[in-house]
């Protein structure tokens, strides 16, 4: 049985992101996966990296102290699925804060002679399911930071066998039909994931 950590980052339970989250979790559970469903807003995760945490960032013996629960969940995962909206061409603050506070030296990476080496090699599958308010062209012209962050930075610390980035662009003008098609696409991808 594959164990997946699903990180969900949206404050509104009635949002389309929440529907995507429900679809991801439901499909993986229907396949018999052990899903650790981490709703960062519902769990009250604080995205704020404190001065004390920053000062102790490189101290691997103690740097996980304030986020041990989340580190343990990440270390148990064999798959990581991120479900989030793109806001201002970035992650919601709560998800960015998760990366800042939990993807620590000794957890997600090792520093060897100043170089970042992957430390989440047990994560064999990585996926992101997201929406953008703007068009794909607009995201491309802005550099599409969320896509690059997932497919380069998060990918690098995991080195998964399988990687998927599923995005619905132009959400501001998406019809019910386009949203339904995207939900079906997500469902099909999670079935193959």
The pLDDT tens digits for 180-193 are 999 999 999 999 99
Q: 155 near 163, Cβ under 8 Å?
A: yes
Torsion of CA 192, 26, 47, 98, to 10 degrees: -30
Task: Write out the two tokens for 62.
Answer: 């103690």
**Which is it for strands 3-8 and 162-168: parallel, antiparallel or unpaired?**
unpaired
Contacts 24+ apart (CB under 8 A), 12-16: 15/85, 16/131, 16/171, 16/179
pTM of this structure: 0.96
Which 3 state secondary structure label does DSSP give 167? strand
Burial grade of 175 (CB within 10 A; 0-12, 13-18, 19 or more)? exposed
* pLDDT for 9: 98
Closest CA to 10 of 77, 84, 79: 84
The beta-carbon contacts of 32-35 under 8 Å, at least 24 apart in sequence, are 32/1, 33/1, 33/2, 33/3, 33/4, 33/79, 34/1, 34/2, 34/3, 34/4, 35/3, 35/4, 35/6
The conformation of residue 48, written as its DSSP 8-state character, comes to: P
- Phi, psi at residue 78, to the nearest 5°? -110, -15
**What pLDDT does 114 receive?**
87
Distance CA 163, CA 151 (A): 8
CATH fold for the domain made of 3-192: Rossmann fold (3.40.50)
Indicate the length of the chain as a whole number.
193
The stretches in the chain having pLDDT less than 70 are none
Number of Cβ atoms within 10 Å of the Cβ of 157 = 21
Buried b / exposed e over 37-59, threshold 16 CB at 10 Å, is bbbbeeeebebeeeeebeebeee
Spell out the residues 6+ positions from residue 180 whose beta carbon is closer than 8 angstroms to its own.
none
Please report the pLDDT score of residue 1 as a whole number: 86
């Amino acid at each position: 049985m594959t164990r997946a950590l699903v990180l969900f980052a949206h404050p509104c339970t009635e949002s389309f992101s929440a529907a995507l989250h429900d679809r991801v979790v439901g499909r993986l559970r229907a396949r018999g996966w052990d899903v650790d469903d981490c709703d960062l807003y519902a769990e009250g995760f604080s995205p704020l990296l404190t001065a004390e945490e920053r000062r102790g960032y490189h101290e691997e013996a103690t740097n996980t102290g304030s986020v041990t629960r989340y580190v343990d969940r990440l270390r148990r995962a064999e798959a990581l699925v991120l479900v989030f909206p793109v806001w201002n061409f970035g992650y919601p603050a709560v998800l960015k804060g998760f990366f800042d506070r939990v993807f620590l030296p000794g957890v997600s990476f090792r520093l060897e002679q100043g170089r970042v080496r992957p430390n989440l090699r047990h994560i064999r599958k990585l996926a992101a399911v997201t929406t953008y308010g703007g068009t794909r062209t607009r995201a491309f012209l802005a550099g599409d930071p969320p896509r690059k962050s997932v497919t380069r930075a998060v990918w690098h610390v995991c080195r998964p066998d399988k990687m998927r980035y599923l995005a619905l662009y132009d959400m501001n003008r998406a019809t019910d039909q386009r949203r339904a098609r995207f939900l079906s696409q997500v469902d099909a991808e999670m079935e193959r994931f």
